[in-house]
Structure 1
Amino acid sequence: MTTIKIAGVPEHFNLPWHLAIDDKAFEKQNIDLQWTDVPEGTGKMCQMLRSGETDIAVILTEGIVKDINAGNPSKIVQIYVDSPLIWGVHVGANSNFKTIDDLKNTKAAISRLGSGSQLMAYVNANNQGWETDNLQFKIVNTIDGAVEALTSGTADYFMWERFMTKPLVDKGVFRKVADCPTPWPCFVIAVREEVLNSQPEIIQAILNTINLTTANFKDIPGIDELLAKNYHQKLEDIQEWLDLTEWSQKNIEENLLNNIQKQLFQLKIIDKIGTFEQIVKTL
């Protein structure tokens, strides 16, 4: 049995992994796939890949492209979710901010430096025509930290996946003032190069197994009810999310990677554009 460590956010996108693990689909391939939930998100997972704390990460595209550009010894081996991530722009329920325009020159709560919540703040600022050099950030680590920061006023707004944050909106903790979809597929699967080079067949077997699960995921009877229960969502919200979400079983193509990098470069998120071979491994 080969042990492989994998990390991802504790969100509805990753239920296919948990179903496959529970079904012993990886064990049947003689693989002990050990999952770790990482509520801190992409910045933390980049750190875990660098340190060897995880072998695989199911991670935001923009975050891992940025970190591989900055020397993370990992490669993208596949797109995991092909549809955009819809980021909600949230403020404290009792704040004076009413519209997205009110947030110009205010402070964004982010999970950590290099996280999706920071990188998408740049995307959002660019969309609004704001000067991105003026962005201010407060590191809050997790969504609970964001609740504390927005409630106390130490930060002004917080960007996070719209559906996972909606229960806080429904409870009157946050107000959502806008949406900001990613202009690219949202999640990819990244693997440490050391593991890729030493165990390519194992990684291919893991991809084959998860792809079988995601290809049929929406057709599982009662999957909407299971998602709603597991992730504390309203059934109608989960059904809308399922309609908007498309998983992928293919790797990223060179022209798409180049388009992503050009946008990140224009936003000053990366300072150079890497080659396809530096960032992607085709198995």
Structure 2
Amino acid sequence: MKTVKIVGVPEHFNLPWQLCIENAEFEEIGIDLQWTDIPEGTGKMCQMLRDGETDMAVILTEGIVKDIVAGNDCSIVQVYVESPLIWGIHVASNSKYTNLAELENTKVAISRYGSGSHLMSFVNAKNQHWNTEKLEFEIVNTIDGAVDALTKGNGDYFMWERFMTKPLVDNGIFRRVADCPTPWPSFVIAVRNGFLESNRQTVALILETINNTTIEFKDIPSIDRTLASRFNQKQEDIREWLKLTKWSQKPLEEKVLNNIQNQLFDLKIIDKKGTFAEIVKAV
């Protein structure tokens, strides 16, 4: 049995992995896939890949592209979710801010530097024609940390996946003032290069297994009920999310990577661009 460590966020996007593990689908092909939830998100997962604490990660596209360009010795082997991630822009329920325009030059709560919540604040600022050099940040680590920071006034707004944050909106803890979709595919699967070089067949088997599940994921009987129960969501919200979400079973295309890097470069999130061969590896 080959042991493989993999990390991802504890969100509805990753239920296909949990189902494969629970159904012993990886065990059947001789792989002990050890999944770890990382509530801190992309920045933490990038660090784990760098430090060799994990072999693989299901990770936000913009975050891992930035980190590979910055020297993280890993590669993107596949797109996992092709559709954009819809980031909700949230304030505390008692916040004086009522619309997006009022948030210019206020403090952004982020999970950590290099995370999606950090990088997407630049995308949002550019969309609103704000001066990105004036962005200020409060590191909160997790969504619970964001609740604490916004409630106490240590941060003014927080960007997180809209549907995962909706229970906080429904419960009157946050107010959502706007949405900001990513201008690229949401999630990719990244692998440490050292692990990939000596375990290419294992990685290929893992991708084949997860892809067989994501192809049919929306057709699983009562999947909306399962998702709603596991992730504390309303079924109508899950149904809307399922309509908007498209999983992928394909590699990241060069033109898509070029588009991502061009936008990150324009936002000054990266100061150089990597080649396709440096960032994407075929399995």
Q: Do these two structures clear the TM 0.5 threshold for a shared fold by scoring above it?
A: yes
What residue number does 2:172 align with? Answer: 172
Q: How many residues align?
A: 283
What residue number does 1:74 align with? Answer: 74
How far apart are the structure 1 equivalents of 2:194 and 2:274?
20
What residue number does 2:121 align with? Answer: 121
How far apart are the structure 2 equivalents of 1:150 and 1:216?
39
Deviation of the 1:190 alpha carbon: 0.1
Listed one character per residue, the Cα deviations across residues 187-244 of structure 1 (whole Å, up to 9, x for unaligned) are 0000000110000000000000000000000000000000000000000000000000
SS of the equivalent of 1:123 reads: helix
Deviation of the 1:65 alpha carbon: 0.1
Deviation of the 1:156 alpha carbon: 0.2
How far apart are the structure 2 equivalents of 1:282 and 1:257?
14
How far apart are the structure 2 equivalents of 1:277 and 1:28?
33
SS of the equivalent of 1:32 reads: strand
What residue number does 2:137 align with? Answer: 137
Counterpart residue type for residue 206 of structure 1? I
How far apart are the structure 2 equivalents of 1:229 and 1:172?
20
Counterpart residue type for residue 53 of structure 2? E
Deviation of the 1:263 alpha carbon: 0.3
Counterpart residue type for residue 228 of structure 2? A
SS of the equivalent of 1:205 reads: helix
Alignment root-mean-square deviation, CA: 0.3
Q: Does 1:225 align with 2:229?
A: no
How far apart are the structure 2 equivalents of 1:260 and 1:277?
15
SS of the equivalent of 2:76 reads: strand
Alignment of 1:151-162 (within 5 A): 151-162=151-162
How far apart are the structure 2 equivalents of 1:161 and 1:255?
26
What residue number does 1:242 align with? Answer: 242
How far apart are the structure 1 equivalents of 2:243 and 2:47?
33
How far apart are the structure 2 equivalents of 1:282 and 1:256?
16
Deviation of the 1:133 alpha carbon: 0.4
SS of the equivalent of 2:201 reads: helix
Listed one character per residue, the Cα deviations across residues 106-132 of structure 1 (whole Å, up to 9, x for unaligned) are 000000010000000000000000000
Listed one character per residue, the Cα deviations across residues 165-197 of structure 1 (whole Å, up to 9, x for unaligned) are 000000000000000000000000000001100
Listed one character per residue, the Cα deviations across residues 30-70 of structure 1 (whole Å, up to 9, x for unaligned) are 00000000000000000000001110000000000000000
Gaps of 5+ in 2: none
Gaps of 5+ in 1: none
Counterpart residue type for residue 212 of structure 2? L
How far apart are the structure 1 equivalents of 2:95 and 2:225?
34
Greater than 4 Å deviation, 4+ residue runs: none
How far apart are the structure 2 equivalents of 1:278 and 1:229?
41
SS of the equivalent of 2:84 reads: coil
Counterpart residue type for residue 251 of structure 1? P
Listed one character per residue, the Cα deviations across residues 123-178 of structure 1 (whole Å, up to 9, x for unaligned) are 00000000000000000000000000000000000000000000000000000000
Counterpart residue type for residue 123 of structure 2? V
Q: Does 1:148 align with 2:148?
A: yes
How far apart are the structure 2 equivalents of 1:230 and 1:89?
24
What residue number does 1:95 align with? Answer: 95
